Structure 1
Amino acid sequence: MQFDLSLEALKTYLPLRTEPADFDSFWAQTLTETRKFDLNACFTPVACGLKLLDVFDVTFCGYGGQPIKGWFLLPRDRNGQLPCVVEYIGYGGGRGKPLDWLLWSNAGYAHFVMDTRGQGSSWQVGDTPDLEPEGSNPQFPGFMTRGILRPETYYYRRLITDAVRAVEAARANPLVDKNRVAVLGNSQGGGVSLAAAGLIPDLSAVLCDVPFLCHYRRATEITDANPYNEISQYCRNHRDKIETVFHTLSYFDGLNFAVRANAPALFSSGLMDEICPPSTVFAAYNYYAGEKQIEVWPYNHHEGGSTFQNIERMKMLSRLWQ
């Protein structure tokens, strides 16, 4: 059922943003520290039986210089540099196998898939451990509360930094047109795409579907579905840490990245989505500073538009990259 605000209310929903005064300096310092490490983007050809595509096993240095895995796929029949889609993965998933990622290279683009550190065991395998020992406070199972007592130690500081470096790694490949790079993802991948858009000023597009990691406090108040419920469970037990938790999360809130993003964006929301409630998605969308549009799927849950949304994504990239 539709449990959130009406669609008319969602279209104008602009909740008060909680933005720390040092938001920009926090991220500038984080990226500066990471860029002290060489990117070391390595693309190793792999044979996987795909006659029409070239596939590469990727390793690059993300947060703290730590190795992050990925896949790079592109059409074998190509002429010159290609536009590139950099994709981030949903919560709990990893990079899987090249056969899991055939859409964008078959559409004629280079496709860079970033593995998600520490994840890749819930629904699709991953190959990148989270090597950072910082966030060692007790946590609710999952990733939402790992290191949550300080923004410096929070898990998503590392993951979002990896995402920025993934764009840099894609652009380092001579087969990629550096001026035509888009970021894309569903759920957690959508939230990470939005963060990347707020931190990288010259992206071609942002394809941000049913985004997670937005408007955290409201999410914990209106849904008990995971992953947001991990935060609720933590706060239920650590009653004295609630404001500390939400202060940390303000550094990673999609609303605060949205006001800094300027690339053309395509969002989506399922009005029956109990995992990423519509008001959390529309809050980010309504604050988004660049050219934007949103596809609304009234009878869908967290799957959103699925293949129907992919059609809209392809239309947008075709228009931008024709």
Structure 2
Amino acid sequence: MIMARDPESATVEVDLPADFDEFWAETLRLTDEVPPDPELVSVPRMSTPAVDVFELRYTSYDQMRIAAWLTMPAGHPPGTAFPAVLHVPGYISEPSVLKSWSERGYVTVGLAPRGKLRSNGRFNPGYPGLLTHNMVDRFTYGYRGFYADVVRAVDVLATLPGVDPDRVGIWGSSQGGGLGIVAAALRPEVVRCVAAGAPYLCGIMASPGWTHSYPYEEINEYLRVHPEHERLLTETASYFDGLNFAPKVRAPIFVYLGMEDDVCPPETGFAVYRLLESEKELHTYPRCGHDSGLRWVIPLVEKFVDSHLHPEGVGA
């Protein structure tokens, strides 16, 4: 008999390493030692009369040069400071050019962390490949630099001309949802709100037991070849699991889940939501998969972000 799943009540446990905070403080210290050297290059062919588009590049952990798309409202008076939103793409997705958000009064960054196109000159594990890249060692695990790239993007965005550093938020789904939680936990003094859909990288080692979809199937495949490494993978994953970052989030957060998600099991979404201690709201969508109710939820995401960042002319 096949037992019905009960995602809301499922138990997802992740050990919290004793040196979790020290590991991430050292990672950020090493990142902070690297001058970011941000560079903005105008891209007229992608711009419109209402929105200016730029290619943004900055230097991150281990001297990696990272690319992103930046959009901002066109024709603004000198000294204007806009709210800003960082968008982190999904696992296999490339960064978005969020012109529609700039039309509503935001500066946006669509990020390409290491391994993504334009940021893969020195690091390119492939997709699949990133999730288990050097996963036997937390110090060289591929996601260590990837996480640092997102945190540095928050720092760079908050200091760019035209950005109000007191109005910075994060929005993303899947990998973007998980990394939004991570960045909000590591930069609580900067991030003012987070919208996280179908958060990936939460319950990392539990998820392969609920799904055989990628990316988590990478772990199943790796352990079929290297079963002796399960302890090492579990130990490394505990330093990167969103469940261990969630209690450190201080910003208001909007979480949305698809109840039939076969990529990021909803069990893990409920688990991370329970651990969030900041102001929070949860939206669930029956009969929706990894899209997490995208058709219905985007207006709610925009309303949530607007309510906290107050773009000019939108619910000020």
Q: CA 1:180–1:92 in structure 2 vs 1: closer, same or farther (change >3 Å)?
A: same
Unpaired runs of 5+ residues, structure 2, are: 311-315
* Cα distance between partner residues in 1 of 2:207 and 2:159: 37
Structure 1: 5+ residue stretches without partners: 120-125
Distance 1:39 1:293 in 2: 34
Aligned partner (choices 148, 162, 174) of residue 161 of structure 1: 148
Aligned to 2:119: 128
Post-superposition offset of 1:130: 5.9
Superimposed CA distance per residue, residues 170-193 of structure 1 (whole angstroms, 9 cap, x where no aligned partner): 112120000110011111111111
Alpha-carbon offset, residue 16 of structure 1: 3.0
What secondary structure is seen at the aligned counterpart in 2 of 1:40? Answer: coil
Instruction: Give TM-score scaled by structure 2 length.
Output: 0.91
Deviation, 1:60, is 0.5
> Partners of 1:4 and 1:30 in 2: how far apart?
42
Cα deviation digits, residues 8-47 of structure 1 (max 9, x gap): xx1x555333111111000000110111110111111110
Identical aligned residues as a percent: 31
What letter corresponds to residue 135 of structure 2 in structure 1? I
Q: 1:33 aligns with which of 20, 30, 38?
A: 30
| Of 237, 242, 251, the match for 2:230 | 242
Q: 2:180 aligns with which of 193, 198, 218?
A: 193
Asked if 1:73 corresponds to 2:71, the answer is yes
In the TM superposition, residue 140 of structure 1 has moved relative to its aligned partner by 9.5
Once residues 13 and 187 of structure 1 are traced to their aligned partners in structure 2, the CA distance between those partners, rounded to angstroms, is: 20
Say yes or no: does 1:92 pair with 2:80: no
Alpha carbons 2:115, 2:123 under 8 Å: kept: no
Which residue of structure 1 aligns with residue 313 of structure 2?
none
Structure 2 equivalent of residue 148 of structure 1:
135
What CA distance in whole angstroms lies between the structure 1 residues aligned with 2:222 and 2:119?
26
Distance 1:218 1:130 in 2: 32
The answer to whether the Cα contact below 8 Å between 2:113 and 2:150 also exists between their aligned partners in 1 is no
Amino acid across the alignment from 1:152:
F
Q: Does 1:56 align with 2:54?
A: yes
Q: CA RMSD in A?
A: 2.1
| 1:90–1:186 Cα contact (<8 Å) kept | yes
Distance 2:161 2:4 in 1: 46
Shift of 1:5: 3.7
SS at match of 2:150: helix
Would you say the 8 A contact 1:261–1:289 is kept in 2?
Answer: yes
1:252 matched residue in structure 2:
240
Aligned to 1:217: 205
Aligned-pair CA distance for 1:66? 1.2
> 1:318 aligns to what?
306
Residues 317 and 54 of structure 1, relative CA distance in 2, 3 Å threshold: same
